[in-house]
Amino acid sequence: MQTQLFHMDQMEEAAALIRAGHCVAFQTETVYGLGADASQEDAVKKIYEAKGRPSDNPLIVHVSSVDQARELSAAWPKTAEQLVQAFWPGPITLILPVKEGVLADVVTAGLDTVGLRFPATEAAQKLIQLAGCPIAAPSANSSGKPSPTTADHVYHDLQGKIAGIVDTGPATVGVESTIIDLTAKAMPVILRPGGLSREDIQAVIGPVAVSTSQVADDQTPIAPGMKYKHYSPDELVYIVDAPIDEWGHWMSHFQERGEKVGVLADQAVLNRWGKEAVAQFSLGDEGDEISASSRLFEGLRFFAETPATVILAQAYDLKGLGAAYMNRLEKAAGQKYLR
Ligand code: TXA
Ligand code: MG
């Protein structure tokens, strides 16, 4: 299949592909999504095929208005109304009871709930409006690889496997949406930390729990006990949770074993140790977890074009978007810490 490239002024052509049951990648504020008409079973199946993603994992449904979200859900609790008033369009996905018969079964993977999201980019909103249907979309990467924050990332992973990509510039938040389950009886539960912080959510609806299970993950384990492979570049990734002085020790540790070390860290660490690495990628100013979240996935992809065999990546505090950054980095690193 030839993958067609579009820009903002060709959105109607991209929308026509969606209506015809094909997959098109598009920019949201979090990451690029791989979209298909959420009411067409065969169209949605193409998403799973293109990504190589297990189809027992449900997809988020994207809408271009609050009313459209209400039409897809069987209940609309007060917390949903408060959250959408405060944060939509924006990087938060609500898990709500699904209305029967409006979405293809494969979207919800047989669950009686659905993840609903109103993305903030003009590109996403226009595509949904012109297509005239809710759009199911996971991140537009090959399953297991870092999520795409540019159209180039999508092209690299999925060219020849999808009908189109609309290139309208980079995704600025850089980590996927925060997923919050509003169907739980006791209190809302964050299933996946993401582009909107727990602190911001709690300021609007009060206390929320955070799930420690892996349900909101991109891949289901193939066998019990099997490790998740997620957000993983080909290089081995280690998380450095140590003072700046100790980076040199860990770099030598790997260099003595014949590895070529790449460093993914803030500017302070790079200024001090960058020249001893074979490649370096800046996450931004020291202590800026917003910048780190926005650059993480691009950074994880960057080292493929360099001689690096090992990536040492910096740990951040869990405050604000630091929780999402560390969640994705821990998966990329398979929990391997150096301290
Ligand atoms: O920012 C984002 O959320 C991006 C952009 C494209 O919008 N999308 C995204 O989708 O990250 P995806 O499919 O990679 O991750 C969605 C996760 C799935 O792994 C799934 O486990 C969870 O959301 N999910 C979807 N529906 C669910 C449901 N009804 N109950 C629990 N989890 C659900
Ligand atoms: Mg994903």
What would the pLDDT profile of 58-98 be if each residue is shown by its tens digit? Answer: 999 999 999 999 999 999 999 999 999 999 999 999 999 99
User: Which ligand neighbours the alpha carbon of 230 most closely?
Assistant: 2
Site to substitute for ligand 1 among 98, 176, 215, 328, most atoms within 8 A of C-beta: 176
Q: How far is the centre of ligand 1, averaged over its atoms, from the C-alpha of 140 (Å)?
A: 12
Q: Are 190 and 209 in contact (CB under 8 A)?
A: yes
Q: For residue 226, what pLDDT is reported?
A: 41
Instruction: List residues near ligand 1 (CB under 6 A).
Output: 28, 30-31, 33, 57-60, 93, 95, 108, 111, 113-115, 117, 119, 137-139, 176-177, 179, 191, 215-218
Q: Cα 266 vs. chain centroid, distance in angstroms? A: 21
Site to substitute for ligand 1 among 59, 62, 108, 190, most atoms within 8 A of C-beta: 59
Q: For residue 180, what pLDDT is reported?
A: 98
Site to substitute for ligand 1 among 60, 108, 121, 219, most atoms within 8 A of C-beta: 60
Look over the chain and give the mean of its residue pLDDT values, rounded to a whole number.
Answer: 94
Q: For residue 222, what pLDDT is reported?
A: 38
Strand runs (DSSP E) across 143-256, as ranges?
Answer: 164-166, 178-181, 189-192, 209-210, 236-240
Interatomic CA distance for residues 177 and 119, integer angstroms: 9
**Start-end of H helices in the chain:** 11-19, 41-51, 66-72, 78-87, 105-108, 122-131, 151-158, 198-205, 247-256, 267-273, 289-302, 322-333
Q: For residue 215, what pLDDT is reported?
A: 46
Provide the residues around ligand 2 (an ion) whose CB is within 5 A: 139, 218
Q: For residue 212, what pLDDT is reported?
A: 80
**C-alpha distances in Å from residue 158, one per residue of 89, 123, 292, 296:** 27, 20, 25, 20
Q: For residue 231, what pLDDT is reported?
A: 87
DSSP state of 148: P
Interatomic CA distance for residues 266 and 283, integer angstroms: 5
Q: For residue 228, what pLDDT is reported?
A: 54
Q: Are 191 and 215 in contact (CB under 8 A)?
A: yes
Q: Which amino acid is at 281?
A: F
Q: For residue 214, what pLDDT is reported?
A: 53
Sign of the alpha-carbon torsion through 195, 330, 32, 270: positive
Interatomic CA distance for residues 216 and 192, integer angstroms: 6
**pLDDT under 70: residue ranges of the chain:** 214-229
Which amino acid residue places its CA nearest to atom 21 of ligand 1?
Answer: 216
**Which ligand 1 atom sits nearest the alpha carbon of residue 113?**
29
Q: How far is the centre of ligand 1, averaged over its atoms, from the C-alpha of 59 (Å)?
A: 5
Q: What is the phi/psi pair of residue 147, to 5°?
A: -65, 150
Q: For residue 53, what pLDDT is reported?
A: 85
User: Which ligand neighbours the alpha carbon of 136 most closely?
Assistant: 1
Nearest-Å Rg of the Cα atoms of the chain is 20
Q: How far is the centre of ligand 1, averaged over its atoms, from the C-alpha of 102 (Å)?
A: 18
Q: Which of 196, 195, 141, 40 is nearest to 17 (CA)?
A: 40
Q: How far is the centre of ligand 2, averaged over its atoms, from the C-alpha of 64 (Å)?
A: 21
